[in-house]
Structure 1
Amino acid sequence: MDFARIPPDWPGRANMRRISARPHQWCVLEQGAGPVVLLLHGAGGASHSFRALLPLLAPHYRLIAPDLPGQGFTRAGARQRLGLDAMAEDLARLCAEQGWPVAAIIGHSAGAAVALRMAEIMAAPPRAVVGINAALGAFEGVAGFLFPLLAKVMALNPLVPRLFARLWGNEARVQSLLASTGSTLDAAGVAHYLALVRDPDHVEGTLGMMAQWKLDGLMARLPQLALPVLLIAGARDRAVPPQVSRDAVARMPGARYAELPGLGHLMHEEAADQTAALILPFLAAHTRADQRP
């Protein structure tokens, strides 16, 4: 794998590899042993967002965290395949070609929507899905107006990603953007997002995802999703308010809801121990964590 674009101190760098699976060149982080759990980050993130959660889950599970197409360090091979359905199809193909028996999927924000869509289409679907501040509705706050606006502009002007990276690629603006989600990250966490915002390719992939994002079909089918689902929300989330998860749980027969006080949209980075304390019992109940594949 070409590590030229990956900072030397990037979380999980030693456990990353590149996988070619049509149509993308995936960057995948793998750690741990046990039943396979797929980790899907949200829009604008990368596998690094699970850096604090990985060591808490890895003693029990084989964790596989790909960067989504066009984001992080995954190279998008087809820029028209950055929406929900296409992304889920391409991830399902990646899992099938690699022979990963996915027992569960954990998705953050938009990654939770991708996880639920994968559960619908995979030949061997996961036994459970966990959503962390699941983006199963419209984004609010800064993300609510900034991302869709830039995504539409980008469709008309391909220079927008470079302009965005230049204008927003400073620590003060990234801190402001992160604070608007209701979360507070340490200096290292801010630095990782700053590195992503300064990367025009990552910005282009993120805006492309937002431009192609359509939830209507998935939302209409939520009552048909009978697999066990746990949606965890941070009470201070200002990007995807907790009510979004509550409403989604009410529509899924096998879903349950949990809420953590004092945490925002990036709660798995703020308080990984509290997040893991909810996830681990749920996974153990549905993935037979005592057995090793």
Structure 2
Amino acid sequence: MTADYPPTDWPFHEASSIVPVSPHRWHVQDFGTGQDALFLHGAGASAHSWHRIVPFLQSGFRMIVPDLPGHGFTRSPRGRARLPDVARDLGALLDHLGATPRIIVGHSAGGAIALEMVRLGIAKPDRVVVVNGALENFRGPASWLFPIMARVMALNPLTGFLLSSGSPSQVRGLIGATGTELDDEALAHYQRLIKRRSHVDGTMAMMAQWSLDELSRSLGQIQCPTLFVHGEDDQAVSVTVAERAARAMPHAKLHVLSDVGHIAQEEAPEAVAREILTFAEPAAVD
């Protein structure tokens, strides 16, 4: 097994494939039957972050779940992690797969990517679901401190390598800081990711190039019906971010999950799946 392919005990390993579509060598998981549905994970995660929701959705959708550029087991060139670039490259991947998503579901930064794909006309789904969407730039000291830190890490791969010790306590602290409580099995997946130098470097490269300014200004122009699902205990992205986005968009609504943090699809997979199924039903039966 190569370092660029998930290990045999990785969640849904049997659904994995490596799909070369320039400029990336994508790791994609593809399972289920029904209408095409694209699932996009957040920064620092991988396709595995959807694995607990799969049993609730795979009978109704063909779930296409890639690792984002530089994340997980997707090999990507440096310098191509801007939001519009990621959106366009995902469009090229979908074309290669012959997929036309009727629904796009994005978590955290993946929610921003989903809306960017719609904004640019790269995808034309019937519905978008944004789970704990990271749709605003950092505020306060983090607005200047974190981007600078990310850029330094992206320019110096050794820095990312030194940070990627991936100890259990480090991973538990990182996840816990988002307001999410995960069991040991779920934490172990993130621990394995953080131990991958390429994953840490790819995450930092993405954050170094990340800007939501254009998307934020354009939310009011996005006509696609959108559901925001947000955990009320999210410590990484306040529920007020979802409230503002839902107000800005002409066909958007918000559902808040009580006692749930940032990684809602792993913490409360059945509840998130129920919201997706209910919202997607009109599209699924067309």
TM range (shorter): over 0.9
Q: TM-score, normalised by structure 2?
A: 0.95
Unaligned runs of 5+ in 1: none
- Distance in 2 separating the partners of 1:272 and 1:73: 23
Partner of 2:215: 218
Task: Evaluate the alpha carbon distance shift between residue 191 and residue 62 of structure 1 in structure 2; reply closer, same or farther with a 3 A threshold.
Answer: same
Partner of 1:50: 50
Report the residue type matching 1:227 in the other structure: C
Query: Which of residues 203, 206, 212 in structure 2 aligns to 1:206?
Result: 203
1:139 Cα deviation after fit: 4.9
Is residue 164–residue 200 contact of structure 2 (8 Å, CA) maintained in 1?
yes
1:278 Cα deviation after fit: 1.0
Task: Evaluate the alpha carbon distance shift between residue 155 and residue 19 of structure 1 in structure 2; reply closer, same or farther with a 3 A threshold.
Answer: closer
Matched, 1:243 2:240: yes
1:290 Cα deviation after fit: 3.7
SS at match of 2:18: strand
Task: Evaluate the alpha carbon distance shift between residue 27 and residue 12 of structure 1 in structure 2; reply closer, same or farther with a 3 A threshold.
Answer: same
1:184 Cα deviation after fit: 0.4
Partner of 2:251: 254
Q: TM-score, normalised by structure 1?
A: 0.92
Partner of 1:275: 272
Report the residue type matching 2:62 in the other structure: R
Q: Give deviations 1:65-117, integer Å, cap 9, x for gaps.
A: 000011010000x2111121110010011112221011110000000000001
Q: How many residues align?
A: 286
Is residue 38–residue 63 contact of structure 2 (8 Å, CA) maintained in 1?
yes
1:187 Cα deviation after fit: 0.7
1:181 Cα deviation after fit: 0.3
Report the residue type matching 2:10 in the other structure: W
Is residue 154–residue 204 contact of structure 2 (8 Å, CA) maintained in 1?
no
1:62 Cα deviation after fit: 0.4
- Distance in 2 separating the partners of 1:83 and 1:123: 15
Partner of 1:61: 61
- Distance in 1 separating the partners of 2:254 and 2:104: 16
Instruction: List structure 1 segments (4+ residues) > 6 angstroms apart after TM superposition.
Output: 143-146
1:126 Cα deviation after fit: 1.1
- Distance in 1 separating the partners of 2:2 and 2:30: 17
Task: Evaluate the alpha carbon distance shift between residue 124 and residue 203 of structure 1 in structure 2; reply closer, same or farther with a 3 A threshold.
Answer: closer
- Distance in 2 separating the partners of 1:252 and 1:13: 37
Report the residue type matching 1:87 in the other structure: V
Task: Evaluate the alpha carbon distance shift between residue 157 and residue 4 of structure 1 in structure 2; reply closer, same or farther with a 3 A threshold.
Answer: closer
1:148 Cα deviation after fit: 3.1
Residue correspondence of structure 1 range 52-131 to structure 2 within 5 A: 52-76=52-76, 78-131=77-130
Task: Evaluate the alpha carbon distance shift between residue 155 and residue 32 of structure 1 in structure 2; reply closer, same or farther with a 3 A threshold.
Answer: closer
Is residue 92–residue 122 contact of structure 1 (8 Å, CA) maintained in 2?
no
Partner of 1:284: 281
- Distance in 1 separating the partners of 2:138 and 2:265: 18
- Distance in 2 separating the partners of 1:280 and 1:144: 36
- Distance in 2 separating the partners of 1:161 and 1:255: 38
Task: Evaluate the alpha carbon distance shift between residue 255 and residue 48 of structure 1 in structure 2; reply closer, same or farther with a 3 A threshold.
Answer: same
Report the residue type matching 1:158 in the other structure: P
Q: Percent identity?
A: 42
Residue correspondence of structure 1 range 158-177 to structure 2 within 5 A: 158-166=157-165, 169-177=166-174
1:121 Cα deviation after fit: 2.5
Unaligned runs of 5+ in 2: none
- Distance in 1 separating the partners of 2:18 and 2:220: 37
- Distance in 2 separating the partners of 1:202 and 1:12: 19
Partner of 1:28: 28
SS at match of 2:37: strand
SS at match of 2:105: strand
Is residue 140–residue 238 contact of structure 1 (8 Å, CA) maintained in 2?
no
Partner of 1:13: 13
Task: Evaluate the alpha carbon distance shift between residue 4 and residue 97 of structure 1 in structure 2; reply closer, same or farther with a 3 A threshold.
Answer: closer
Task: Evaluate the alpha carbon distance shift between residue 234 and residue 107 of structure 1 in structure 2; reply closer, same or farther with a 3 A threshold.
Answer: same
Task: Evaluate the alpha carbon distance shift between residue 282 and residue 73 of structure 1 in structure 2; reply closer, same or farther with a 3 A threshold.
Answer: same
- Distance in 1 separating the partners of 2:266 and 2:139: 20
